[in-house]
Each structure stands twice: as C-alpha cells, then as structure tokens.
Amino acid sequence: MFSKKMVVTVSGIFLIVCCFIWISLSSRYPEETENANIITLALVAPAQDFATRSARFVRDIWRHYFFLVAAAKENDRLKQQLSQVIENKNTCIEVELSNQRLQTFLDFKKETEDQVVAAEVVGQDPSNWFKSIIIDKGKASGVVKGMPVVIPEGIVGQVVMASAQYAKVQLMIDRNSAVDALVQRTRARGIVQGKSGDRCQFQYVLQKNDVAVGDVVISSGLDGVYPKGLRIGEVSSVVRRNAGIFQDVEVASFVDFEKLEEVLVIIRSSERHMDSK
C-alpha cells in the first residue's frame, strides 16, 4: 500500500520531529536528560545544518539571479546611451566639418565676382579610364555643358553633360581634359592636361621659359572655359632635355579629388561677361 521510499521519508520526518520535541522538553530538565540530549543533538544538528544551508543557497541563488537580471538591464541601457553619445558626437563632428567647408565656400564667393552655384557631389565614375563626378545641380539651376567647376583650392573640371537636376563633371586630371595655363611667377604659358592620380602634365612649355619646382600654375583665361587667374596646381618636376623645344613639366593639383564633397559651378564669369559688352 505504501512504497518503501515514502515509509523512509515519513519515518525520517517523524524522527526529526520527535527529536525537536525531546530537545524542547529536555530544556526543562537538563541534568536528567543530558546524555539523551547529546544523542538527540547529534541526530538533529546535521538536519538543521542541511536545512539552513539549503535555505541560504536558494536565497543566494535567487538574489544573484535578480542581481544579474538588473545588471544585464543596466548594461543594455548603458550600451544604448553610449551608442547614442557616439552617434551624436559623430554627427557634431560632421556638422562642424561641413560648416568649415561651407564657410570656406562663402568666403570664396565673396572674393570672386563670378556668379556661382554650389552643388554636392553625389556620384563618381567607377572606371579607371575616365575621371568624372556627378553633381546634384543641372539645367534647372542654370548649369549647362562647358561651365567650369571649382573649389576654393583650385580648378576641379568642367561640365560635360547636364540634365534637369544633375550634371556630369569631367575632372581636370582626366586624360581628355585641357586647361590653357601659365606660370604665375614668370607668365610662361602652356596647356595643363590630365595624367594620373592628382598629377597633370604641363605641355608645350618652351625650353627658354623660366619654370621651377614650386611655381604656382594658374588658368590663363584664353581657352574660353576657365576665367583667368584660377589656381591649378604647383610645379612638382621640371626636365629640360637636350633635344626638342619643350620642357617636360609636371604639375600637382591643389585639389584633393578623392575628398570632393561640394563644388562651385561658375554660371557666368564676370570677365567674360564684361568682354561680351
């Protein structure tokens, strides 16, 4: 009728209860029941110790569990706050850099008499054969084919195609690009053509002309595209050969074409506008 396990369990509980009762009664007659108390203590103490340790273990596990849950939630909250702080900091840095670039553009617009339109670079030619970018201004903003594109540092290139809202700009470093130019110091004239990277070749510079490394090269205004006096680059190397009438001159552009984000399109040159009157 009763299983062996149940009988053992009930017997054990009954024995412990009897021991507790005996300890309670023996406390009234300590001298007569001393030996029996020692035996009872030896039997009851381990059970009490086990029960106490078990209760403490469960309590500690329970507290530790809640502590871990709270710590995990706090950790998630702090991670979210950190991510937000990092994002806000990055946004502030980008805004500051953008403001610096725009301030430079505004200063340039104040200094020049040319009518210009600011545009943002939204794409670039992925091929290695052509060097070009796409800007977010087109015919609707007055941008048409042939207009020069610049930044305060120097010449970027010229518009070669335009739709209503966008335009394609051929960069000055493209091999098909050409700018009529002259050395600012000596007025030696030639044609700046794209070569590779941010380098250009200063073609058709006569051997007799004085050109040195470090000279600034500017637009001459004689090609009908770029207004006179726009910065192009700095002479990086000069080679004078024994044969031939031209020097081999290389020019490093002032523009970092890999970091172009905003540009200015010259809608109308004041110099050309005055000449046309």
As to burial, measured by CB atoms within 10 angstroms (0-12 exposed, 13-18 middle, 19+ buried), residue 272 is middle
Counting the structural domains of the chain, the total is 2
Amino acid at position 95, single letter = V
Same domain, 133 and 259: yes
> For residues 184 and 233, what is the distance between their CA atoms, to the nearest angstrom?
11
Report the C-alpha gap between 125 and 260 in whole angstroms.
13
**Whether residue 252 sits in one domain with residue 188:** yes
As a whole number, the mean pLDDT across the chain is: 78
Q: Under a CB-based contact definition with an 8 Å cutoff, are residues 20 and 45 in contact?
A: no
Confidence of residue 144 (pLDDT cuts 50, 70, 90): very high
What does each C-alpha distance from 12 to 4, 45, 55, 96 come to in angstroms?
12, 14, 19, 79
Q: Is residue 89 part of a domain?
A: no
- Residue 260 and residue 130 in one domain: yes
State CA 45 to chain mean position distance: 68
The model's confidence at residue 89, banded by pLDDT at 50, 70 and 90, is low
Q: Is 96 a domain residue?
A: no
**Domain encompassing residue 255:** 115-276
Q: What is the CATH number of the domain that holds 212?
A: 2.40.10.340
- Which residues partner with 180 through β-bridges? 191
The model carries a pTM of 0.61
Q: Is the pLDDT of residue 176 over 60?
A: yes
4-27 pLDDT per residue, tens: 556 556 556 655 666 555 555 555
Is residue 263 situated within a structural domain?
yes
What span, in angstroms and rounded, lies between the C-alpha atoms of 255 and 253?
5
Quick: pLDDT tens for 211-258: 999 999 999 999 989 989 999 999 999 998 888 899 999 999 999 888
Considering the domain architecture, whether residues 59 and 129 belong to the same structural domain is answered as no
pLDDT average, residue stretch 257-268: 87
Q: Name the pLDDT band for 107 (thresholds 50, 70, 90).
A: low
Closest CA to 26 of 17, 37, 35, 18: 37
Per-residue pLDDT, 268: 73
- Assess whether 136 and 268 both reside in one domain: yes
Based on the domain organization, do 20 and 137 belong to the same domain? no
